[in-house]
């Protein structure tokens, strides 16, 4: 046991120590199984569909994963996403100012995240309860803003293409490949926040805060500020997901984003993040979202289970993935 770490070859060591290893293996296994046994799965149309379907949840999952590593939850991401969607929609349609639209769609959900963070760090109400409450409150605020009305447009604006344009070059080169710019934004955010997590002081403090808030505080880490920042980032990611949502569907309604919070938490956990905090990775969360999206597509294509019943498969996956991730780490 004591000298094990040195005897392990680098590859083996990566597998047992990196939070990315578990979800990476799961992803490959799911991909290979579906490719072998499910007709039409291994096509560019299916693969680009998997990525596109994953993108909105994926962007939210960036914030959720970060927050979970810091030891907190955010159940209020759905309404924050709807809020971002409305603010973006209201300020782009009919000759609005796209720059202002993007700014507001990030700023207001960011402030909502700050409200979550301040309640959690000042009142010590657990984040699960706090954000469960603000989920209802924020949904009410979205209702007030929108007057309860769904917002739609048929305008074709440049800004919609910036956030959800067709990647024509790929589509022309590969038949059936319908990748969107939204996926590029998602990947960029994943890489940015993974980098922040492992290479900056803030990232270090996120791990410490979630790993042991007491030890972090005793060594001078500002635990409350670190948590507050993570809540704000979760708000910003939700707002950005709202921007992508409206750019893609040209529709936003009160219920937009409902349920995304649980999918994002599921993805973070499948992606190797610890519910107890202190462990995980943004890349893992990214893989977690892809795994769930892949399951959805695979299950639909098999025709064995009605597509509407896909949640049952997600449930099985979460438990299986957590057991698998834990098993890998015990191997260390």
Partner 1 sequence: MSDNGHDTPVVYMENIVKRFGTITALDGVDFTVNQREVVGLLGDNGAGKSTLIKVLTGVHTPTSGQIYLGGEPVKIPSPREARALGIETCYQDLALVPLMSITRNFFLGRELMRNFGPLKLLDVQEMDTQARHALKDIGIHIRSPNEKVGKLSGGERQSIAIGRARHFGASLLILDEPTSALSVGETHKVLTYTLNAKERGLSVIFISHNVGHVYQVADRFTIIRHGQIVGNYTRDDVDEQDIADLITGEREK
CB closer to partner 1 out of 5 and 255: 5
Q: How far is the CB of 5 from partner 1 (least distance, A)?
A: 6
Closer CB to partner 1, residue 139 or residue 329?
329
Closer Cβ to partner 1, 13 or 35, answer by number: 13
Which residue lies nearer to partner 1 by CB, 96 or 217?
Answer: 217
Residue numbers at the binding site for partner 1 (CB under 8 A): 2-3, 5-6, 17, 199-201, 203-205, 207-208, 211-212, 214-222, 274, 278-279, 332
Measured distance CA(173)–CA(221) in Å, rounded: 51
The stretches of 38-180 forming alpha helices (DSSP H) are 44-69, 77-92, 98-123, 127-146, 158-164, 168-173
Q: How far is the CB of 278 from partner 1 (least distance, A)?
A: 4
CB count, 10 Å around CB of 270? 31
Quick one: 200 or 303, whose CB is closer to partner 1?
A: 200
Would you say 314 and 298 are in contact if contact means Cβ atoms under 8 Å apart? no
Token couple for 100: 């202002």
Centroid of chain to Cα 305? 26
Tokens of 104: 């507001």
Encoded tokens for 208: 């410490």
Are 240 and 114 within 8 A, CB to CB?
no
Give the nearest distance from C-beta 65 to partner 1 in angstroms: 15
**Nearest approach, Cβ of 20 to partner 1 (angstroms)?**
15
Phi, psi dihedrals of residue 53, rounded to the nearest 5°: -70, -25
- Least distance in Å: CB of 85 to partner 1? 32
């Amino acid at each position: 046991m004591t000298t094990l770490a040195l005897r392990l070859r680098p590859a083996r060591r990566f597998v047992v120590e990196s939070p990315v290893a578990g979800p990476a293996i799961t992803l490959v296994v799911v991909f290979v199984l579906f490719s072998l046994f499910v007709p039409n799965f291994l096509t560019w149309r299916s693969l680009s569909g998997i990525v596109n379907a994953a993108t909105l949840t994926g962007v939210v999952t960036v914030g959720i994963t970060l927050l979970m590593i810091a030891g907190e939850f955010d159940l209020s991401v759905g309404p924050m996403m709807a809020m971002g969607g409305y603010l973006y929609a209201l300020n782009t349609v009919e000759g609005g100012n796209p720059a202002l639209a993007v700014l507001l769609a990030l700023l207001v959900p960011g402030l909502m995240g700050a409200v979550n963070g301040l309640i959690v760090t000042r009142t010590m109400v657990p984040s699960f309860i706090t954000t469960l409450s603000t989920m209802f409150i924020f949904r009410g605020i979205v209702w007030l803003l929108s007057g309860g009305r769904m917002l739609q447009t048929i305008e074709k604006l440049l800004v919609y293409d910036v956030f959800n344009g067709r990647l024509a070059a790929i589509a022309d080169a590969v038949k059936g490949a319908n990748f969107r710019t939204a996926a590029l934004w998602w990947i960029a955010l994943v890489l940015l926040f993974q980098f922040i997590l492992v290479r900056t002081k803030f990232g270090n403090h996120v791990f410490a805060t979630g790993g042991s808030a007491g030890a972090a505080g005793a060594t001078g880490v500002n635990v409350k500020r670190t948590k507050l920042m993570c809540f704000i980032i979760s708000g910003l990611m939700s707002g950005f997901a709202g921007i992508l949502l409206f750019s893609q569907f040209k529709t936003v309604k009160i219920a937009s984003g409902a349920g995304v919070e649980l999918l994002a938490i599921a993805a973070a956990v499948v992606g190797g993040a610890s519910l107890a905090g202190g462990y995980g990775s943004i890349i893992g969360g990214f893989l977690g979202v892809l795994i769930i999206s892949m399951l959805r597509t695979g299950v639909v294509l098999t025709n064995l289970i009605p597509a509407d019943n896909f949640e049952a498969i997600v449930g099985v996956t979460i438990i299986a993935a957590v057991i698998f991730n834990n098993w890998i780490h015990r191997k260390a």
